[in-house]
């Protein structure tokens, strides 16, 4: 099962970063390239433990839906979501936050498994892992930019 681990340092406090990371509206805005929208479950605001969100998006030229559920949350240090319906055989995404001075380090641990056995494994190695990593990097870049702009607005 491929695992993507990313660390992003964000110049904002841990509570702000944590809440932005679980905000459905912020996520939707960060995924505008894939036309991602929340269509069921929690469709706006802060998602909580036990809640689901169903996303509709265009990936690899194909319209897809994916439903994820928040299975654990320890505010403001960690939350984990899993796919309960979608194209992956499985998906598990842990979001970890820790303060580092006045900044926050956000760590993503994203594990997924494609369907189709050996063909899926080959597709992961050749393309999908890089594609998913780039999606997460773009999401994190957007979240960092938004969190740091909030900080500047409050300071200025």
Task: Name, in order, each residue with C-beta under 8 angstroms of 61's C-beta and a sequence gap of 6 or more.
Answer: none
Q: List the chain domain ranges.
A: 3-155
For residue 89, what are its two tokens?
Answer: 């055989």
pTM beyond 0.75: yes
Buried b / exposed e along 38-77 (16+ C-beta atoms within 10 A)? beeebeeebbeeebebbbebebeeeeeebbbbbeebeebe
User: Which architecture characterizes domain 3-155 according to CATH?
Assistant: 2-Layer Sandwich (3.30)
pLDDT tens track for 118-151: 888 888 888 999 999 999 999 999 999 999 998 6
pLDDT tens track for 10-58: 999 999 999 999 999 999 999 988 889 999 999 999 999 999 999 999 9
Neighbouring C-alpha atoms within 13 Å toward the C-beta of 43: 6
């Amino acid at each position: 099962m491929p695992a993507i681990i990313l660390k992003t340092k964000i110049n904002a406090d841990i509570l702000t970063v944590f809440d932005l990371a679980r905000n459905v509206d912020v996520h939707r805005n960060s995924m505008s390239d894939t036309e991602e929208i929340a269509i069921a479950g929690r469709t706006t605001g802060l998602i909580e433990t036990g809640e689901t969100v169903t996303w509709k998006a265009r990936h690899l030229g194909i319209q897809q839906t994916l439903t994820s559920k928040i299975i654990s949350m320890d505010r403001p240090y960690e939350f984990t979501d899993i796919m309960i319906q979608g194209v992956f055989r499985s998906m598990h995404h842990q979001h970890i936050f820790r303060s580092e001075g006045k900044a926050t380090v956000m760590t993503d641990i994203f594990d997924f498994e494609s369907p189709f056995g050996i063909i899926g494994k080959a597709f992961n190695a050749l393309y999908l892992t890089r594609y998913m990593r780039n999606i997460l990097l773009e999401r994190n870049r957007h979240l960092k930019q938004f969190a740091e702009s909030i900080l500047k607005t409050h300071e200025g």
